[in-house]
């Protein structure tokens, strides 16, 4: 922790006492969960470095960008089209909201029976703990779930917030509404930055974001190998970092990691023996530093090989067509691509059920763990259909509902041990 960082955090209005407590807690957790793993790929060194200075270097880059007249746009959901922000020379950052640390603060204002992701996000702002929030000029929310959309109203009392309306259905009319929202977002970003989103800039930005998507697709494809060349925890971390690191640098680092994993796959080298149970996790997103479920599963002798999640396949599976065209044509392509994110906020959302079965087969999993953040009603209700679909497909399922606290870890371990025992080959 350098004096330079402390000065920067002070300038950003960070509550240093709380912030010190957060970082002091994060170090030992990271040591226990990540650095204690055996036979990690060398390419994870970059991601360890990024987490080791999680509120330093990247925040400094954002500050430098702001000092040069640029804008920083913070987001909470994969529905916000980052291409548009990049095209206007703004930097988008996905805010992390994966720690229990900020939850009690949020509970002073928000109802306790709100999901941990919402409480964690709000607590970060309320407690002035997160330099990414403090460094952002605009927070872009969405209407994906009731808890979030009402929280954004309260958040707007503390920082500028703009909310995109994500439709609840996938009909033609809903798609028109969303296309209009994407156009309106472009106008908001142009006004914020003072920069016009031109066809060239948009096409360039689309290419950059697609490159990162391709790199993450490559990483996930490598996880199909048996033995698996990288732990689920490490793959999760890579995806989490991709939300806030520079898009070009992150793409390069993911590809470097994949080059190494190619070698491992070719020589049959894995991080776990080939016969460990392979698990697909499906459900609510896991924002950094939410590593709880992966850690329990992999400590119990399983390998997490895929996440059907917004910190997973929903983040990068579909590309935006790169066939250029006018700004309007490109925005339409962007809108169409984002409507392929099968979030449980949609009704019906049967495409997600198809995805889970397809991924379970492609990654040759022995079982699916459905991960539900407590008080997330969309995913909890959709789990009923997930259960039926997987039963019909003959794929074992374990449903987990949890939050960010450690209180239920013992109980989760017992249930996970029993599930792994049942599916072990």
**For binding to ligand BJ8 (CB under 6 A), which residues are involved?**
77-79, 115, 117-118, 144-145, 147-148, 284-285, 310, 341, 343, 345, 373, 376, 378-379
Owner of token pair 């209180």:
407
d(C-alpha 39, C-alpha 11), whole Å: 40
Q: Give the nearer residue to ligand BJ8 in terms of CB position, either 26 or 310.
A: 310
- Measured from the Cβ of residue 247, the count of other Cβ atoms closer than 10 Å reads 18
Closer CB to ligand BJ8, 193 or 378, in the complex: 378
State how far the Cα of 203 lies from the Cα of 97, in Å rounded to an integer.
30
**Shortest gap between Cβ of 237 and ligand BJ8 (angstroms)?**
18
At its nearest, how many Å lie between ligand BJ8 and the CB of residue 383? 12
Closest distance between ligand BJ8 and the C-beta of residue 145, in Å?
Answer: 3
Beta carbon nearer to ligand BJ8, 226 or 349: 349
> Tokens 């952002």 correspond to what residue?
136
Give the number of other Cβ atoms within 10 Å of residue 283's Cβ. 29
Which residue number, 185 or 379, has a Cβ lying nearer to ligand BJ8? Answer: 379
326/334 Cα distance (integer angstroms): 12
**What values do phi and psi take at 388, rounded to 5?**
-65, -45
Q: Measured from the CB atom, is 84 or 257 closer to ligand BJ8?
A: 84
- Closest approach of ligand BJ8 to the CB of residue 213, in Å: 15
Instruction: Give one DSSP letter per residue of 100-112, joined into a string.
Output: GGGHHHHTTTS-S
CB of 129 to ligand BJ8, least distance (A): 19
Distance CA 324, CA 330 (A): 7
Closest separation in Å from C-beta 412 to ligand BJ8? 18
Q: CB neighbours (10 Å) of residue 246?
A: 15
Distance, in Å, from the CA atom of 311 to the CA atom of 237, rounded to the nearest integer, reads 9
Tokens of 218: 């490559």
Of 197, 212, 190, 210, the C-alpha closest to 71 is 190
Copy the structure tokens of residue 403: 């939050």
Task: Pick between residue 343 and residue 423 the one whose CB is nearest to ligand BJ8.
Answer: 343
Which one, 34 or 244, has the nearer CB to ligand BJ8?
244
- Determine which helix (DSSP H) or strand (DSSP E) holds 92, and give its type and residue range: strand 91-94
Q: How far is the CB of 219 from ligand BJ8 (least distance, A)?
A: 19
Q: Looking at beta carbons only, is 115 or 368 nearer to ligand BJ8? A: 115
Minimum gap (Å) between residue 115 Cβ and ligand BJ8: 3
Helix-helix angle 199-222:247-267, to 10 degrees: 30
Instruction: List beta partners, residue 398.
Output: 369
Residue 85 token pair = 């922000």
Which residue, 115 or 300, is less far from ligand BJ8 as judged by CB?
115
d(CA 128, CA 109) in angstroms, rounded, equals 15
CB of residue 33 to ligand BJ8, shortest distance in Å: 22
């Amino acid at each position: 922790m350098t004096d330079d960082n402390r000065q920067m955090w002070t300038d950003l209005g960070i509550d240093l006492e709380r912030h010190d407590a957060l970082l002091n807690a994060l170090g030992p957790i990271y040591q226990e969960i990540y650095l204690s793993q055996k036979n990690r790929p060398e390419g994870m060194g970059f991601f360890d470095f990024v987490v080791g200075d999680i509120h330093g270097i990247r925040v400094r880059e954002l500050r430098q960008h702001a000092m040069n007249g640029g804008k920083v746009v913070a987001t909470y959901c994969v529905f916000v089209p980052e291409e548009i922000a990049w095209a206007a020379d703004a930097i988008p950052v996905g805010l992390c909201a994966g720690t229990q640390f900020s939850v009690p603060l949020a509970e002073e204002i928000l109802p306790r029976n709100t999901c941990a992701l919402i409480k964690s996000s709000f607590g970060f702002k309320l407690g002035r703990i997160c330099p990414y929030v403090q460094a952002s000029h605009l927070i872009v929310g969405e209407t994906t779930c009731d808890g979030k959309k009402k929280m954004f109203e309260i958040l707007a009392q503390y920082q500028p917030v703009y909310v995109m309306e994500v439709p609840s259905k996938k009909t033609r009319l809903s798609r028109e509404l969303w296309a209009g929202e994407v156009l309106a977002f472009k106008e908001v970003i142009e006004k914020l930055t003072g920069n016009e989103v031109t066809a060239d800039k948009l096409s360039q930005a689309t290419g950059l974001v697609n490159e990162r998507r391709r790199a993450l697709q490559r990483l996930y494809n490598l996880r199909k190998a048996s033995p698996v060349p990288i732990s689920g925890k490490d793959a999760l971390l890579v995806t989490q970092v991709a939300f806030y690191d520079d898009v070009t640098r992150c793409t390069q680092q993911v590809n470097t990691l994949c080059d190494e994993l190619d070698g491992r796959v070719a020589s049959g080298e894995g991080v776990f023996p080939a016969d460990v149970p392979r698990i697909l996790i499906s459900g609510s997103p896991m924002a950094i530093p939410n590593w709880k479920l992966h850690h329990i599963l992999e400590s119990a002798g399983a390998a997490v090989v895929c996440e059907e999640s917004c910190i997973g396949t929903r983040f990068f599976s579909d590309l935006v067509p790169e066939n250029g065209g006018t700004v309007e044509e490109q925005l339409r392509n962007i809108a169409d691509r984002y409507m392929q994110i099968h979030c449980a906020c949609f009704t019906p959302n049967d495409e997600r059920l198809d995805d889970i079965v397809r991924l379970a087969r492609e990654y040759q999993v022995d079982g699916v763990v459905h991960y539900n953040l407590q008080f997330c009603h969309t995913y909890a209700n959709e789990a009923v259909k997930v259960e039926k679909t997987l039963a019909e497909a003959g794929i074992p399922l374990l449903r987990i509902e949890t939050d960010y606290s450690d209180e239920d870890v013992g109980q989760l371990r017992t249930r996970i041990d029993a599930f792994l025992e049942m599916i072990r080959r």
